[in-house]
Amino acid sequence: MLKVRLIPCLDVKDGRVVKGVQFVDLRDAGDPVEAAIAYDAAGADELCFLDITASHEDRGTLLDVVQRTAEACFMPLTVGGGVRSVEDIRTLLLAGADKVSIMTAAVKNRQFVREAAEKFGDQCIVVAIDAKKTSLPGAPDRWEIFTHGGRTPTGLDAVAYAQEVASLGAGELLVTSMDRDGTHAGYDLALMRAIADSVSIPVIASGGVGNLDHLVAGVREGHASAVLAASIFHFGDYSISEAKAYMADAGLAMRLDPPRSGPHHRAD
Amino acid sequence: MTTAIVDYGSGNLHSAHKAFERAAREAGLAEVITVTSDPEVVLDAERIVLPGVGAFADCRRGLDAVPGMVEALETAVRNRGAPFLGICVGMQLLATRGLEYEITPGLDWIGGDVALIEPGAASLKIPHMGWNTLVATRDHALLKDLRTGPGGLHAYFVHSYALKPRDRSDLVAETDYGGAITAIVARDNIAGTQFHPEKSQELGLSLIANFLRWRP
């Protein structure tokens, strides 16, 4: 039986984790590779790096991080942020990413999704959707796509856009509620469900997780195939294994393989 | 002893390379893992790995575009009997035909077609993406000491198409996704996994070590 995936996400800037990761026994909590190794050991089902490096010219550090992570973690890795061209995707995949998440470039040019999927296969193209609710209270729900961290409206209906990029060859959708992101109030479940129910590809729910019940609700009520969270893990509120055990107790099918142990988890 | 991972422009060879090196090291095997697009290296290799991500037809074209590679694989694997492992589309290429977008001939080392997954329940998403358990249909050296079954270890899958072997005796393991889907096939010295052992943590590294020890 296919299991629900729990995906910790790390924001990376100039090769360093932006929000401090508070693990007890990391030699360097700012090193994304160390954090990735710790998440791997704890049983994360996938890892996600979001690169927020300001300058496109400074991508070398990210590629180095991806490469070192792929050498130490034998689990799927998604990398997003600033992906603008087929060449960007190729470089990330060759460095060791398994999937590449694209956002603004897909909003600007939908054919980029098709081009990327045809070139590298649907399975490695994740389209990130940042959406905000724009319908008035009482009116039927409507969410609009925003870019630039939620600052720039696009006028695009999130559900219609999701269907369009799915038909163009996206293998998966990473849906973030910009209303909820950083609030710890839980996913926008109506948004997740509206998109998950309207496409045949998997949806990763993102934005707003504050406790473990939110993860369960993302799957059960949001109909997501995978749930992503950042801060609740980074700041040590909950561990990955605790979260997975909680989700399993709530009746969700989770992968609870015993973690690999021993010195091979260190970045050697 | 050398294991050659065939580089024909398909996908992420870096992680496959590192996973095979790690598995060899942890198993105490002095195997040299080399990524190569040189048919001569493939001809001389003790073991051969064919990875692959993307669409079947693209991968087939990529393989054909390396001069002498298909012939080298035929000679090393089919004539000399070198242990062979195909991964994901590298496994699907073993089939007679791929039916993804267009009909494309495979290597035809394992009879059967690669067709779109049609899960019984309409609510199941395609691609089949994520961690799933294996159901062994017979014993095989690749599965040695691996816990399979519903309470067993998980493998990482990401695919929309699956190989259906014509001869059920070519099956080694299946996985359940709204019905049985081929997870591992093997015939003589030829084996393939639909999932990615290089991304499957414990199960994956153990299976790779089993492959490196396999003497079919």
pLDDT tens-digit profile of A103-123?
Answer: 999 999 999 999 999 888 888
Q: What pLDDT, on a 0 to 100 scale, did the predictor assign at position A172?
A: 97
Provide the pLDDT for residue A55: 64
> What pLDDT score does A260 carry?
64
Confidence label for A57 from pLDDT (cuts 50, 70 and 90): low
Identify the pLDDT of residue B146: 95
Q: Return the pLDDT at A267.
A: 35
C-beta atoms surrounding B62 within 10 Å = 18
- pLDDT at residue A29 in the model: 65
Chain B residues within 8 A of A123 when measuring between CB atoms: 53-54, 127, 129, 158-160
Residue ranges of the domains in chain A?
5-255
Amino acid letter, residue A172:
E
Question: Confidence class of residue A19 from pLDDT cuts 50, 70 and 90?
Answer: low
Tokens at residue A120, please? 């590298």
* Lowest model confidence (mean pLDDT) among A33-37, A215-219, B135-139: A33-37
- Long-range interactions of A151-157: CB distance < 8 A, separation 24+: A154/A107, A156/A107
Residue A265 has pLDDT above 70, yes or no: no
**CA distances to B47, B94, B205 from B34, in Å:** 10, 22, 17
The answer to whether the CB of A234 falls within 8 A of the CB of A19 is yes
Domain A5-255 belongs in CATH node 3.20.20.70: yes
Q: What confidence tier does B157 reach under pLDDT thresholds 50, 70, 90? A: very high
3-state DSSP call for residue B7? coil
pLDDT band at B22 (very low <50, low <70, confident <90, very high): very high
Nearest to B12 by CA among A94, A114, A263: A94
Q: What number is the average pLDDT over the span A58-67? A: 86
**What average pLDDT does this structure show over B195-204?**
94
| Surface of B (32-71) touching A: CB under 8 A | 53-55, 58
**Residue A266: pLDDT over 80:** no
Spatial separation of the C-alpha atoms in residues B186 and A158, rounded to whole Å: 45
pLDDT (tens digit, 9 = 90+) per residue, A161-205? 999 999 999 999 999 999 998 889 999 999 999 999 999 999 999
**Domains in chain B with CATH codes:** 2-213 (3.40.50.880)
Query: Across residues A248-259, what is the average pLDDT?
Result: 92
Report CA A148 to chain centroid distance, whole Å. 17
Within a 10 A sphere around the Cβ of B41, how many other Cβ atoms? Answer: 16
Residues of chain A that touch chain B, judged by Cβ-Cβ distance less than 8 Å: 1-5, 40, 45, 67, 70-71, 74-76, 93-98, 118-124, 171-172, 200-202, 225-226, 255, 257-258, 260, 264
- Whether A239 and A5 have beta carbons less than 8 Å apart is answered as no
- The mean pLDDT of chain B is 95
Quickly state the pLDDT bin for A268 (edges 50, 70, 90): very low
Q: What is the CB-side half-sphere exposure of residue B120 using CA atoms within 13 A?
A: 6
The pLDDT of residue A186 is 96
pLDDT, average across residues A238-246: 95
**A87/B162 Cα distance (integer angstroms):** 29
* CB A207, CB A188: distance < 8 Å: yes
B26–A122 C-beta distance less than 8 A: no
Asked whether the beta carbons of B153 and B202 are under 8 A apart, the reply is yes
- Out of A1-5, A23-27, A234-238, B55-59, which region has the weakest mean confidence (pLDDT)? A23-27
- Give B180-192 pLDDT, tens digit per residue: 999 999 999 999 9
* pLDDT at A262 (0 to 100): 44
State whether B15 and A98 contact (CB < 8 Å).
yes
